[in-house]
Amino acid sequence: MELTLLGTGCPSVDYRRFGPSNLVSTKKAKILVDCGSGVTQRLNQINISGASIDALLLTHLHSDHVVDLYQLIISSWHSYRIKPWIIYGPPGTKIFIKKIMNAWKKEREQRINYEVRSSIKAFDIIVKEFKSLGNIKIKDIKITYFTVDHKPVKYAYGFNFYYNKKKLTISGDTKPCENIMKFGQNADVLLHEVFIDGEIKETNKMRTNKTLHNVRDYHTPSTIVGKIAKITNCKKLVLTHFVPTKFNENKLMKIVRNDFGKNPIVGKDLLKIQI
């Protein structure tokens, strides 16, 4: 199984760190996790067409994780996708996708009629909403989904991917969360989000201490993520979803290493990890 970090950023714009998105793949299966800003460009960089994605899993419906959903769908049609999209997401995903598809309905119909292609299957979208805990099988990859704590976001999920006796855990967006420590036990790779303490400065009225505190409060601080990784007993810790996107890498490594006991991998866009 291979994990490709497609976007390791957050809502802030940074050309080196696109919006959150990851690809989990085997020779048979391609599963996209989230579709943040720039996802189709990153897929294109690794020669993966939107036409070939087997399923899209959404961790939650924060805009940074779903903002390129329509671009993903329309560009897959342009890439001759001939099968429906299968999208798994939290409660609310069905209505969310229906609204997005409706917003573009007239434009899409005009395009379909004018450009005339052999298939419009790419616009058939099968949406399945998560319960609190469950299993999915997509080709040769088994997935367990579980809830994480990203309050005030009501529904947010993390995932375990299993293939060939290997396990990958993806935290999604979460504050320090018991379910990660429980379901992430003995993962070969734990991909975890991080909020880096001390890197965002209070600047003006738009960035007060209170707003900074609120952002930190629904993510996992750099002073805690290593402790969580240690408790899960994961073999490798890969960090992603950096808030902010620019930070002192050595300092972050040192803080996390002290807690985890090993060096974490500081994720970068397009980094591939074999599992």
Kindly state whether residue 173 participates in binding Zn ion, applying the rule CB under 5 A.
Answer: yes
Q: Which of 22, 58, 64, 93 is the binder for Zn ion (CB under 5 A)? A: 64
Q: How far is the CB of 85 from Zn ion (least distance, A)?
A: 22
- 243-272 residues near Zn ion, rule: CB under 5 A: none
Q: How far is the CB of 173 from Zn ion (least distance, A)?
A: 3
Q: Report how far residue 250's alpha carbon sits from residue 190's, in angstroms, rounded to the nearest whole number.
A: 20
CB atoms within 10 A of CB 78: 15
Angle at 268 between CA 227 and CA 185, to 5 degrees: 30
Q: How far is the CB of 28 from Zn ion (least distance, A)?
A: 29
Taking contact as CB under 5 A, which single stretch among the options 22-30, 41-49, 172-180, 224-232 is the one that binds Zn ion?
172-180
How many alpha carbons lie under 13 Å from residue 82 in its C-beta half-sphere?
A: 4
SS3 of 101, please?
helix
Of the candidates 210, 190, 106, 99, the residue with the CA atom closest to the CA atom of residue 148: 190
Q: Report how far residue 66's alpha carbon sits from residue 200's, in angstroms, rounded to the nearest whole number.
A: 24
Q: Would you say 64 or 68 has its CB closer to Zn ion? A: 64
Of the candidates 275, 242, 234, 237, the residue with the CA atom closest to the CA atom of residue 257: 237
Amino acid at 1: M
Taking contact as CB under 5 A, which single stretch among the options 44-52, 58-66, 113-121, 133-141 is the one that binds Zn ion?
58-66
Q: Report how far residue 234's alpha carbon sits from residue 242's, in angstroms, rounded to the nearest whole number.
A: 20
Q: Would you say 64 or 188 has its CB closer to Zn ion? A: 64
Q: Which of 17, 42, 62, 236 is the binder for Zn ion (CB under 5 A)? A: 62
Q: How far is the CB of 179 from Zn ion (least distance, A)?
A: 16
Taking contact as CB under 5 A, which single stretch among the options 47-55, 60-68, 103-111, 244-252 is the one that binds Zn ion?
60-68
**Which residue's entry shows tokens 């049609």?**
77
Q: Would you say 60 or 81 has its CB closer to Zn ion? A: 60
Taking contact as CB under 5 A, which single stretch among the options 56-64, 116-124, 208-216, 228-236 is the one that binds Zn ion?
56-64
DSSP-assigned beta bridge partners for residue 209 = none
Q: How far is the CB of 32 from Zn ion (least distance, A)?
A: 16
Q: Report how far residue 136's alpha carbon sits from residue 23's, in angstroms, rounded to the nearest whole number.
A: 16
Kindly state whether residue 175 participates in binding Zn ion, applying the rule CB under 5 A.
Answer: no
Q: Would you say 173 or 269 has its CB closer to Zn ion? A: 173
- 208-227 residues near Zn ion, rule: CB under 5 A: none
Q: Would you say 92 or 257 has its CB closer to Zn ion? A: 92
Is there a contact between 256 and 262 (Cβ–Cβ < 8 Å)? no
Is there a contact between 158 and 148 (Cβ–Cβ < 8 Å)? yes
Taking contact as CB under 5 A, which single stretch among the options 115-123, 170-178, 197-205, 258-266 is the one that binds Zn ion?
170-178
With CB under 5 A, what is the number of residues at the site for Zn ion? 3
Is there a contact between 255 and 223 (Cβ–Cβ < 8 Å)? yes
Interface residues with Zn ion (CB under 5 A) are 62, 64, 173
